[in-house]
Each structure stands twice: as structure tokens, then as C-alpha cells.
Amino acid sequence: MKTEQLREQVLLYFAKHTKEGYKSRQLRRQLRVISERDFQLLRDVLHTMVDNAELRWTKARGYHLAESSNKISGTIAIDKRGNGIVATSRGEVFIDKQSVGTAFNGDTVEVAVFGSKKSKKDSAAVNEGEVLNIILRAHTEFGGTLQRSKNFYFVLPDDSRMHRDFYIAPEYLNGATSGDKVLVELLEWEDPYKNPEGKIIKTLGSAGDPFVELRSVIQSYRLPTSFPKEVEQAAAEIPLQIPTEELKKRLDLRSAIILTIDPHDAKDFDDALSIELLEGGSFRIGVHIADVSAYVTEGSIIDKEAFARATSVYLANQVIPMLPEKLSNNICSLVPNQDRLAYSVFMNVTEKGKVRKYEFARTVINSKRRFTYEEVETILDNKKGEYSEELLDLWAVAKILRAKRMKNGSIDFDSPEAKFKYDDKGKPVEIFIKKRLKSNQLVEECMLLANQTVAAHISTLEKDGEQLPFVYRIHDQPDKEKLRNLEDFVRKFGYKLNISQLASSKELQQLLLQVHGTKEENLINEVALRSMAKAVYSPDNIGHFGLAFDHYSHFTSPIRRYPDLLVHRLLWEYTGGMSEKRKQLFNKELPAMCKHCSEREKVAAEAERDSIKVMQVEYMRQHLGEEFQGIISGVIQYGIFVEINDMLVEGMLHVRDLNDDYYVFDEKQYALIGERNGKWLRLGDSITVKVAKVTPERRQIDFVLAETDIKEENKKKKGKRRRN
């Protein structure tokens, strides 16, 4: 074992245990240092780290981080400009792009904190620093396009947050040629003034081909495209027939009217609904969730694979499931007219939306009908159709629940979602924005209520300040500086957001109501969403800011989300009485499990976004030279970003292609302003553009001003001259 390897292991361990102290023998066990020779090397490393002020040693605590040291470790997030933010135990540290060194986005790094500066938009000081060492690489394999210059080969990374190309020596081409989309492995990057060196480990195909680009997305995010043989074998051995002894343990609901409502192309039906009218105008809602825990037992080989994946990934043209197909699309899926095991929550809801009573039960159900959202929408509109009475009652309750939620300050982000229609070759022929129907809201409200009820139930079990181990879905309050930026942003459109004090969810809700139905709605929704903290999984309940819920969890999608499976297991154990030993085990393991699930969720979201971009670029490639109406969605010094209406396709109109004038960037006005004609190209303005160039391998779209837009501008000028 090398000295530097040991030092990196020590730094990484203390990065995760920042407040703990350890004796050398304790660290030996934690780091699994086996031989006496390596243990002596570990002690030498620890002594050196104390001499270098990286660690402190005291008789009482042993080795621990030096609080006064200006060196600290954390994970770096690099933005598209090349600047970084390192999240550490002492807060965030800003790293200028000149000081990022050889770090890639996501790496665990050691930084030196050398001062602070006042933020432009806030009086609070921001710590600044520089990267000293790379403790642990987040990734060592990257997707990109191989190109050749006069004397050497290099790979342009797909990830826009990577600002250095990979140098590829001829002996490491591995048969790839210029123009190929490849997977490159990092060999070495020690000097920030030189490019990282890599070798080609896989050729994916010709860059620019949409299916090759999608393979690159999958490879870049390290998404597994198949299950290990032993996992598939374990799934194959699960019997399709529910054992009689299992049926006897469950509440039998097979004769009840229980319905599923899902997208038309869904195969994994993990939730179903029932409703019963009670005396006095109340309703008994049943939310029935696929009981995955009955088939995926804790610690089994299927369970370990599901945890590693943590979530299903929904790409533009395919799904990468969390569970093998036999489970996700068959045994666990609540398909119609088949007996299925479920975990059900029943809630008695008053006409004012209050839950008076609830109960949980492990059940066996038999769905009477599989509906699509569109089918239910038709029934809600026409007030007739199969099971119309149940569906109309569910919609009536959903409206009550939604009204109550909005009154309490819940923020309803109606985030638009791009969908595609494909030809018989799988290429996109149409882009449309998925409509949010009443039927969508019906299901959403029932699922939100079930998730909230489960989390609130756990709080009722807690006594004398004891916090029981559980998995919560939490959403922290937004950062005040980000809210100030949002306030400045929406003011340019004539809207107000008062954040003299920390904004409440109700204030953000009012902003979204103001912009509803306007041409800038999608843009402001997106910027507002980016100003918010990210919802994550945590064993520590701080509530959900966006939903305005004190208690919230994820219970309703265990086929595609591992945290929901965890919640099912925990809920069932609490029903029977969890032992102290199990509580201690969960208290120890849940923090790391929640962090892993949150990280995998983020990866899935980024991969999905990139796959959508691939298809959007492919669609626009088929429309080169055509004109589109759009809105200016961003303004920077060298151009404007334009988002095409009703397609969510964004491209760049460069300043160099604005030939009618010399344009100057006005940062405060979010605008480019022509020096001679005084023309403004301002954030939020409508504009007509023509597709000038598409670069699929970089997922870039370039626009120029359309002839119609130029003619319209000339008409305005002529009219102005006549008036003068």
C-alpha cells in the first residue's frame, strides 16, 4: 500500500466523519489495514499529517480534523463557466476557475480556504479557496467525440462542465477514428496547465447519430443496461402464483372496485385507487401500492441490485428499470384482473379535506380496470362512462385536497415536459408539451395524501423527543441570495416578489399564479424552480417547504424508487413493534442510504434531461432553414438563448450573427442593445428565428434572426420615420 493512497483514504474517511476522533488502531479497523507493515505505514502517514496541520492529535480524542486549519475537504460542483463550489462541513467554498486545478465535477477534493469576499447581491461573505489535491475521483470514464488535429488526437467531452479535452496518444486509440463517439478512460492528470491524458476503451459509433448519442448518455452516466445473471435467475425463481398461506395473512380486497390510472405506455403499475362514500359527506379513500417488499427481501441479491440502482431511469425513448422485468412489469405490477399483493392505506377524508382516521393493511387486490389518463379525462368531462361514479367521486375529493393544499401555501410547479412522437425507425417526428390533465391531478392528490399520512403516522409513534429511524422526503427553505436573484429576474417582466424577510411558500405560489398563462410562464417557472433547494431523502425530518407539509415521505412508487421500498419495510416493522437492535441498525445505516438514493435520483434526472436534448437536437436537424417563434430565455455577452414555443427546445443566437448592428451587453437590463438603431433584444421578448446550424455531437442548436423578424423590424423603422 502506497503512502499517498493511505493519505487519500484517511482524508476521505475524515471528510465523512468530520467531528469524530480516532486512535490509530481504530482507524486501522475502519480502513481495513491488515498487515503490520501497512499499519506502521498508516501511523507514519498520520504523524506526517499532524506535522502538516492536516490533522490534530490529542490524548482525549486521538486523531481528528483541525478546526483552525485552512485546509478542508468536500465535494466539488463545477458549473458551465468552469467555477466550482465545494460543499464542506464548514459551509460552501467558492473556487474560481483558475483555482480548480485538476478537479472534475463531483470529485472529492482537498481545498485551502484563503479568505472571503462580499457577494455582489448579498452582504454575506463567501469563502474562497483553491483545490490542493484530488482525494477521490467521482468518475474515471467519460463520453465524448474523438477528433484529430494536425499532430495529435483528442476527445471533446459531452459534459459541458468539463472544460478540458482529453489528449489521446496514438497507441491508445483502440481502433477509434476521428468523428467517433467514444468512451475515454482517464489515465493521468497531474498538471492543470496540460490536458488530461486518456485512452479509448470503447467506440460507440458515429458521433451525431441520435442512437449513438443516447448510448453515450447511458455510458456517461454509468447506467446499467442489463441485470447480472444471478439477479435475473433469482427473479426467474419467484413463483407467479401467490401462495395460499400468504393470502390468509392479508386483508382480501379482491371483490372491491379498485382502479389503476397510468400513462398509455406504462407497464409498471405501482398504485391503484378505491373510494367509498361515508355518512355525513366524508369519503374513505384507499391508496393501494404494489407490495414489492413481499418479493424483494432485505439483503437479497435482488435487493442489493435495486439499492445500487436506487431508481428507474426514464430516458426519452426507453426505461432503465430498478427491478427485473418479471417483477416490475408482471408480478409486482397491479395489472387488471389479476390477484396482486399490495400495501394499502385507507384515509377517511372530510368534505373540508381533513383526514379524520386512517389505517394501514397488507392486502390482496384485483384491479377491475386499467385506465389511461386520457380515458379518465374523457369520463370526467362527460360525467359518464365505465366506473364514472367512482372516478367523479375521486375527482371531487382531489379538488378539495388541492384547494386545502394551496390555501396552506403549497407551491404547484406545473413544470412543462417535452414528449416525442417517433417514426418507425425511432427518430422523432414531433415534439409536444405533455398536458397536465384533471386525471393527472386526481392521482397526484391521492398520492400526496398517502405519502403525507404515512410520514405523519411515524411522528405519532415518537415519544419523549425520540426520533424514530425513517426515510423522509425533505425540502429545505430556499437560499436568500437565490431568492433575491429571482426577485431581480421577475422584476424585468413586471412581476413582484417580496423577500424583505425570508420568502414563504405562499409568496412564491402567488408569483406562479401571476405568470400562469403568460408567454413567459415556462421560463419563470424554470428559474423559480432553480432558485429552490433540491428535495432529497433524509432520516432527519425538517418538513417539505414546497408542499408546505410538516411530514412527508415517499410510499407510493416502490417498483421504481428504492426509498419507497425502505418506507414499506419500516412501516411494517413499526406496525409489529421494531426492536431496539433494529432501531440502532437503521439509525446507523439510513443516513448513508438516503444520501445514496438522493445522488442516484440526481444522476437519473440529469441523464433524462440529456436524452431529451439528444432527441430535440435530432428533431431540429430535420428542420434546418425553417423559422420558429420563440422567447428570449437568456442573455449573455456573446449572444442570446432562445426557447422555441411549445417545444421547450433551446438554442443560441450569437452576437456574431447579428449583422444589422453592433450590439452591447447590458447585464442589469438582461439585454443586448444595438448602438445605432437602439434595438433591444431583451429577456422575455418574443422573437422569430431560423435554424442555422445543428451540432448533434455537442447537442447544440444555432439560430439566426428570421427574415420575417427582420422585415417586421424594418417596418417599425419606416413607420417611425414617417411619424417623424
Q: Is 452's pLDDT higher than 50?
A: yes
- Cell numbers for 175: 481502433
Give Cβ neighbours of residue 180 (< 8 Å, ≥ 6 apart). Answer: 145, 146, 203, 204, 205, 206, 207
CB of 340 closer than 8 Å to CB of 274? no
Give the DSSP letter of residue 279: G
Mean pLDDT value across residues 652-657:
94
pLDDT tens-digit readout, 380-433: 999 999 999 999 999 999 999 999 999 998 988 767 788 999 999 999 999 998
Most confident of 330-344, 413-427, 520-534: 330-344
Of 86, 413, 512, 321, residue with least CA distance to 330:
321
Q: What is the mean pLDDT of the chain?
A: 90
388-407 helix and 373-382 helix, angle to the nearest 10 degrees:
90
Separation CA 54–CA 52 (nearest Å)? 5
Q: What's the Cα-to-Cα distance from 590 to each of 18, 87, 419, rounded to whole Å?
A: 18, 21, 36
Separation CA 195–CA 190 (nearest Å)? 9
Separation CA 287–CA 452 (nearest Å)? 12
Give the pLDDT band (50/70/90) at residue 346.
very high
The upper half-sphere exposure of residue 424, i.e. CA atoms within 13 Å in the direction of its Cβ, equals: 0
Task: Return the pLDDT at 721.
Answer: 45
Vertex 208: Cα angle to 202 and 213 (nearest 5): 55
Q: Is 123's pLDDT higher than 50?
A: no
Separation CA 21–CA 616 (nearest Å)? 52
What domains, with CATH codes, occur in the chain?
A: 3-65 (1.10.10), 71-136 (2.40.50.690), 141-207 (2.40.50.700), 230-292+312-398+423-439 (no CATH), 453-606 (no CATH), 623-723 (2.40.50.140)
CB of 172 closer than 8 Å to CB of 198? yes
Q: Is 614's pLDDT higher than 60?
A: yes
Q: Which residues of 307-338 are buried (b: 16+ CB within 10 A; e: fewer)?
A: bebbbbbbbbbebbbbbbebbbbbbbbbbbee
Task: Return the pLDDT at 371.
Answer: 97
Query: pTM surpassing 0.85?
Result: no
CB of 586 closer than 8 Å to CB of 469? yes
Percent of the chain predicted with pLDDT > 70: 94
Give the pLDDT band (50/70/90) at residue 87.
confident
Give the pLDDT band (50/70/90) at residue 530.
confident
Q: Is 121's pLDDT higher than 50?
A: no
Task: Return the pLDDT at 226.
Answer: 95
Taking the alpha carbons at both ends of the chain, their separation in whole angstroms is: 83
The upper half-sphere exposure of residue 3, i.e. CA atoms within 13 Å in the direction of its Cβ, equals: 7
Distance of CA 458 to the CA centre of its chain: 26
Q: What's the Cα-to-Cα distance from 276 to each of 256, 257, 261, 365, 399, rounded to whole Å?
A: 10, 9, 17, 16, 16
Give the pLDDT band (50/70/90) at residue 718.
low
Task: Return the pLDDT at 684.
Answer: 86
Vertex 588: Cα angle to 587 and 592 (nearest 5): 105
439 or 9, which is more confident? 439
Nearest-10 Cα torsion for 333, 335, 337, 341: 20
